[in-house]
Amino acid sequence: MAFWEEKTLEQMSKAEWEALCDGCGRCCLIKLEDEDTGTLITSDVRCKLLDGNTCRCTDYPNRQKIVPDCIKLTPEKVREIPWIPVTCAYRRLAEGKGLAWWHPLVSGDPQTVIDAGVSASGRTFLETEVDPGRWEEHAVDWPEWEPPEHL
């Protein structure tokens, strides 16, 4: 039995926890909040540390020093933060859904995240290259999309 099937999020080692990240990059997209309604809107503008092709943080160990509002995910935060993508392994496990077929730990291939349409790879704009006054023009709904159970 795989570790994610026999352990809770709280029981996982640091290495197991880190292995759950599928590398989609969705959590590193800038979220906008509608001032009138409080509704969160996801944009296709990525954090300045996110590599737009690999969807990996370019300075993961120091990310919270460089980007003070970068959130370090914990089991508690995964259950509380509403914008965690529905495809996120942490969220899926917290909700009792298990890992999706395209997750690299299941498929054995990180390319399946891209093939399934879950990855932000090649679909984003670097935050330092977009005027913050124009972020609203970058509102997108694809980060909320979830692929079918099997393609």
The span from the CA of 62 to the CA of 60, in Å, is: 6
User: Going by C-beta distance under 8 Å and a sequence separation of 6 or more, which residues neighbour residue 130?
Assistant: 45, 138
Query: Stretch 32-37: mean pLDDT, rounded?
Result: 86
Residue 35's pLDDT band, with cuts at 50, 70 and 90, is confident
The span from the CA of 26 to the CA of 30, in Å, is: 9
What 3-state class would DSSP assign to 141? coil
Give the predicted TM-score (pTM) of the model: 0.89
Query: What b/e readout covers 30-59, taking b as 16+ CB neighbours within 10 angstroms?
Result: bebeeeeeeeebbbbbbbebbeeeebebee
pLDDT tens for 49-68 read 999 999 999 999 999 999 99
Say what the pLDDT of residue 150 is.
Answer: 59
User: Going by C-beta distance under 8 Å and a sequence separation of 6 or more, which residues neighbour residue 37?
Assistant: none
